[in-house]
C-alpha cells in the first residue's frame, strides 16, 4: 500500500513534519510512505532574497511530484505552509494541474489528509487546512483529520499546533522555531491514522 506525502516547504518546517508523517505511516504493516515535493514556482533570485536557498538545497534530494503519482497512490497526505490563511501558491499551482485526474475521477475514494505550518500561533492554520479540504472534496477524496484520540492537541502547558483538521506547527516570524516534539507526534499520529484507514478501505 502506497501512501504519498506531497508537500511544499520553504524553510524546512513542513519538510520536518512530512518526515514525521512518514514515520507514522511506517507503523502500519504493508504501508510504504513516499515523500514528494511540489514544483517550485519562485525564481532563484526571489528565493535568495527570502533567505530560502540553503533550506531548499537541503531537501533537493526529495523527488518532485508528478500529478500521475497521485492516481497511483492509495492515500495522499498533503503538507503546505500557510499563506494568508490559505495553501501556498506552489501547492495551488500543482493542484490546478490535476484537472485531467478530476475528469477521469482518478482520485475518487482515495484517502486525503493535510498538515500545515504558520509563522504565528493564530496565523491561519485551521483555515488553511479547511480550505484545502475543498479541493480534496472536489476530487472525491475521503478526508481524514487528526482526531482527539491524539491527546497532544489537548495540551495547555505549551504553545503547540494541531487541531481536529490536521497536524500543524508554528514556525515563528523568522522561521526560528522548528516543530516541537508534540507537533511531530501529531504528524506521526496523523500518518499512522491515515495509513490505517487506507488499509481498511483497500481491504
- 97-143 pLDDT per residue, tens: 999 999 999 999 999 999 999 999 999 999 999 999 999 999 999 99
Q: Which pLDDT belongs to residue 175?
A: 87
Q: Which pLDDT belongs to residue 56?
A: 86
pTM: 0.96
Tell me whether residue 122 is annotated as binding.
no
Tell me whether residue 165 is annotated as binding.
no
Domains in the chain: ranges and CATH: 2-202 (3.40.50.360)
Tell me whether residue 120 is annotated as binding.
no
Residues contacting 33, CB < 8 A, separation 6+:
3, 5, 21, 22, 25, 26, 191, 195
Helix H segments across the chain? Answer: 13-25, 44-50, 53-58, 67-72, 89-96, 99-104, 125-139, 181-202
- CA-based angle 97:103:106, to the nearest 5? 85
Tell me whether residue 10 is annotated as binding.
yes
Query: Mean pLDDT over residues 45-53, rounded?
Result: 89
Query: Mean pLDDT over residues 22-27, rounded?
Result: 98
Amino acid at each position: 500500500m502506497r501512501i504519498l506525502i506531497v508537500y511544499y516547504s520553504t524553510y524546512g518546517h513542513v519538510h520536518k513534519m512530512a518526515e514525521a508523517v512518514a514515520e507514522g505511516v511506517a507503523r502500519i504493516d504493508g504501508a510504504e510512505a513516499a515523500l514528494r515535493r511540489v514544483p517550485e514556482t519562485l525564481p532563484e533570485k526571489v528565493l535568495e532574497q527570502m533567505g530560502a536557498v540553503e533550506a531548499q538545497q537541503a531537501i533537493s534530494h526529495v523527488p518532485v511530484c508528478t500529478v500521475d503519482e497521485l492516481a497511483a497512490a492509495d492515500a495522499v497526505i498533503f503538507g503546505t505552509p500557510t499563506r494568508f490563511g490559505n495553501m501556498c501558491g506552489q501547492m495551488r499551482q500543482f493542484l490546478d494541474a490535476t484537472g485531467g485526474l478530476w475528469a477521469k475521477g482518478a482520485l475518487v475514494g482515495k484517502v486525503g489528509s493535510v498538515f500545515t505550518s504558520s509563522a504565528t500561533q493564530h496565523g491561519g492554520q485551521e483555515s488553511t487546512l479547511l480550505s484545502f479540504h475543498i479541493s480534496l472534496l472536489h476530487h472525491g477524496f475521503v478526508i481524514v483529520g487528526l482526531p482527539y484520540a491524539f491527546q497532544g492537541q489537548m495540551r495547555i502547558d505549551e504553545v503547540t499546533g494541531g487541531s481536529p483538521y490536521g497536524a500543524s506547527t508554528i514556525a515563528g516570524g523568522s522561521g526560528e522555531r522548528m516543530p516541537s516534539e508534540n507537533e511531530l507526534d501529531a504528524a506521526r499520529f496523523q500518518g499512522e491514522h491515515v495509513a490505517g484507514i487506507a488499509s481498511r478501505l483497500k481491504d
